[in-house]
Chains A and B, each alone.
Chain A
């Protein structure tokens, strides 16, 4: 409450010193009042880099508090936050959410002036999927003491009935960029779009030999949606080809680039639409490291259009850095391209073997 008054006073100065102080209850100005929660605010945001959606719930308190938290699975998934040193104050005892990340938060006040926050969640959270912490007040920025709860959106529990093996699988293969878009350009002038097309063609041949049906987004040096199409149409055209053909898996093949030309290595990006996206990325990444000329930069969640808007498990492979002169040279070698293509196909085979074990059955 005291904070509110200070805040009001500050506001009044800013607004221009109108004498409307009567709005603030002046009774508690000189009395020490117990610490309580004064406000609760929530905010959903999407991580710009990983694409992970998260909710932040902030409980403002009139003074500092101590907290601890724990996760329990039964009777239903719940995050419990014990708040030592603050009563419920003016915060409602039940806060309803849309069930996307949080179903409901109950605020229970204890007799000793402490509280417990019961956060009901749709599915159990892993350790890395949430954090609970406090923030100190900052009067100069008009910010009170706060309890912050961050929770990531859980991975949707989608189940595919994949069988092992590559035979009769529909694989959509996207050679990155093309036509009016050269992609990244190496120091000696090699275009990303040429390398990706060469490797995608080799992947196609190997997959067809293994009995897969391959859908290519492009087989020549062309734009997918026409020369003057928008960037939405160009990327949307690629995912539409995979989606319309009901591909089992979508792969987009690229070469990476960075200003520091010593940076190198291969990387696999995915968007976690289901648990299969991570599995696909991991399978490809470990296969890519077989007899590899490039170091492993690992798998990462990425806020990438192609992996996000494809309806099936998808991965974007950055084979190596075309900006790194020695990797640029290697990327042009047909033998290296063949090895990468073989590794990609092996990675897909590993993916279906593992997915068959996990999915459906």
Chain B
């Protein structure tokens, strides 16, 4: 009986361990990497100190906002209070707007985060109807809004994809351009490259 219990215990540890390793693989920020050349040396590694959630005191989250020219997204590092849920806070910061003057707010007025949950490495983020009703429209706004939501959430190591819900339901699109029906993956291409 004792042995059996131990074996189950070991199994449990292994299951949790493998789950963690899988989640650890998620989508890395790849901030310092550059597009490949046909023959090339190893690229720079990411500084773990900048990985979100890695600090014990003064937790930081990374939130994406569009550049003023509406061409790219740029990350903004923001501190959150101890005890605040980092994932929820990062979306709430996205909704309330940036501090940095080089980027602009993208969320439609009155957009409220209804809920956020994670299942099998996919973040399900549910907004109220304002994200559609108050959306100014245009492919550029819709692409940057969707990109900002997805890139902000995939900053978290255990999030590999995002599903956007509106009033608890799956939607095909927000304003008639972008296909938001499936699991959305991180976009590296839309992030402004540092000079």
Contacts and interface: CB of A to CB of B under 8 A. Distances in A.
Nearest to A191: B137
A278 B3 CA distance: 63
Given A133-B43, A231-B176, A308-B179, 12 more contacts: A45-B160, A45-B186, A48-B185, A49-B147, A58-B25, A60-B25, A133-B42, A140-B54, A140-B56, A143-B24, A176-B176, A254-B138
A88 B141 CA distance: 46
A259 B46 CA distance: 33
A127 B138 contact: no
B6 A22 contact: yes
B84 interface: no
Query: Which of B14, B26, B105, B172 has the most C-beta atoms of chain A within 10 angstroms of its own C-beta?
Result: B172
A14 B12 CA distance: 12
A148 interface: yes
Interface string A38-58: 010101011111111010101
Contacts of B20: 7, 11, 142
Contacts of A15: 12-13, 16
Query: Which of A129, A254, A303, A323 has the most C-beta atoms of chain B within 10 angstroms of its own C-beta?
Result: A303
For the residues of A in contact with B, the DSSP-based class is: mixed
Contacts of A128: 35-36
Query: Which of A39, A139, A148, A258 has the most C-beta atoms of chain B within 10 angstroms of its own C-beta?
Result: A258
B80 interface: no
A158 interface: no
A12 interface: yes
B33 interface: yes
Nearest to A263: B70
For the residues of B in contact with A, the DSSP-based class is: loop
A305 interface: yes
Contacts of A66: 41-42
Contacts of B16: 11, 14-15
A323 B135 CA distance: 12
B141 to A, nearest CB: 5
A23 B45 contact: no
Nearest to A41: B25
A272 B48 CA distance: 35
Interface size class of A (residues with CB under 8 A): 35 or more
B140 interface: yes
B136 interface: yes
Contacts of A130: 36
25 contacts: A15-B13, A45-B186, A48-B180, A49-B144, A49-B150, A68-B42, A69-B36, A70-B39, A131-B35, A131-B43, A134-B45, A135-B28, A135-B46, A136-B46, A138-B51, A141-B48, A142-B21, A177-B137, A235-B173, A256-B138, A302-B143, A303-B179, A306-B177, A318-B138, A318-B139
Given A7-B17, A20-B9, A46-B184, A230 B48 contact: no
Contacts of B172: 230-232, 235, 305
Interface residues of B, number: 80
Interface of B: 6, 9-10, 12-14, 16-17, 20-22, 24-28, 30, 33-48, 51, 53-54, 56, 66, 68-71, 104-106, 136-141, 143-144, 146-147, 150-151, 157, 160-162, 171-173, 175-190
Interface stretch (A178-186, A285-293, A340-348, A351-359): A178-186
A146 interface: yes
Contacts of B26: 43
A297 to B, nearest CB: 8
Contact of A257 (B38, B140, B157, B184): B140
Nearest to B164: A48
Contacts of B24: 141-144
Nearest to B21: A39
Contacts of B140: 256-258, 263, 267, 318, 321
